Amino acid sequence: MKNAKYIRSGKAKDIYRRPDGNIVFVFTDRVTAFDGKKKASFKNKGELCCKLSCFWFEKLQAEGIKTHFKEYVPPNELVAEEVSLLPVEVIARNFLYGSLWRRYKKGEVDISSDFFVREGAKELGEGAPLAKSFLEFTTKFERVDRPITEEEIIENAWMDKGEIEHIKRETIRIGDIMKSYLTQKGIILADFKLEYGRSKEGRGIILADEVGTPDGCRFWDKEAYEKRGEIISFDKDVFREGKGDLSEVYLDVCKRIMA
């Protein structure tokens, strides 16, 4: 961090630029929910999320996924290539839960029958598994993030159709890698959020920001869900819903994943 220049702060990270041009993400103990309306700080949260994100970046890169990740500097710094972040995030949902469930229940989102696990089903219930990942884009730099259509993304010249399809393929591939690994650890990947950026080193659109942390994923206990239909969260829902000490939950899931 010597001679690094401060750029900006996000909800949970402070960002700096080193003299060599690389970016340093400093993961903090800050946590927010409900578009910043609920805020707090939890000891060691930043260190745990940084460690997990670097773990996943290394694993994904080993599988051929292009990312901005370059180096982990313990305890809470991630060094990366500076990219031009796309103004949208992509969310992959493997279960009907959270905001997707609320919008589905209100009739605000249409989920076709090919997402239904049970053949012949006419509707889905809260927490139901989906036959395949339901992908959607949301805005990133607006005051309140919102779902956005692919047509609107193209109209705003943020991406073209080919780039959108590339991101969708990469997201599905990343999800498959993560789900395969997490299943062995007794964890369900209910949903996850990713960000991408345009490489300034000519590598196209690549995975950026962070990946695989309980800040950006919903992790559930596999045994509790499959045996009792119970959702036990190992993620930020603990903070959203006041269900326990976030520091303890993040430490437990970090140990479980990296064991």
Every domain of the chain and the residues it spans: 5-258
**CB neighbour list of residue 161: distance below 8 Å, 6 or more residues apart:** 150, 154
Provide the 3-class DSSP secondary structure of residue 58.
helix
71's torsion region: left (phi>0), alpha (psi -120 to 50) or beta? Answer: beta
The DSSP bridge pattern shows strands 5-9 and 13-17 to be antiparallel
Instruction: State pTM to two decimals.
Output: 0.95
Q: pLDDT tens digits, residue range 205-220? A: 999 999 999 999 999 9
151-184 residue pLDDT tens: 999 999 999 999 999 999 999 999 999 999 999 9
Instruction: Give the H or E element holding residue 103.
Output: helix 98-105
Q: Give the whole-angstrom CA distance, residue 70 versus residue 61.
A: 10
Average of per-residue pLDDT across 90-103: 96
Instruction: State the pLDDT confidence band at 120, using cuts at 50, 70 and 90.
Output: low
User: Which residues, listed in sequence order, are joined to residue 123 by a DSSP beta bridge?
Assistant: none
Is the Cα dihedral 182, 187, 190, 191 positive or negative? Answer: negative
Q: Cβ distance 90 to 136 under 8 Å?
A: yes
More confident residue, 88 or 145: 88
Domain 5-258 has CATH 3.30.470.20: yes
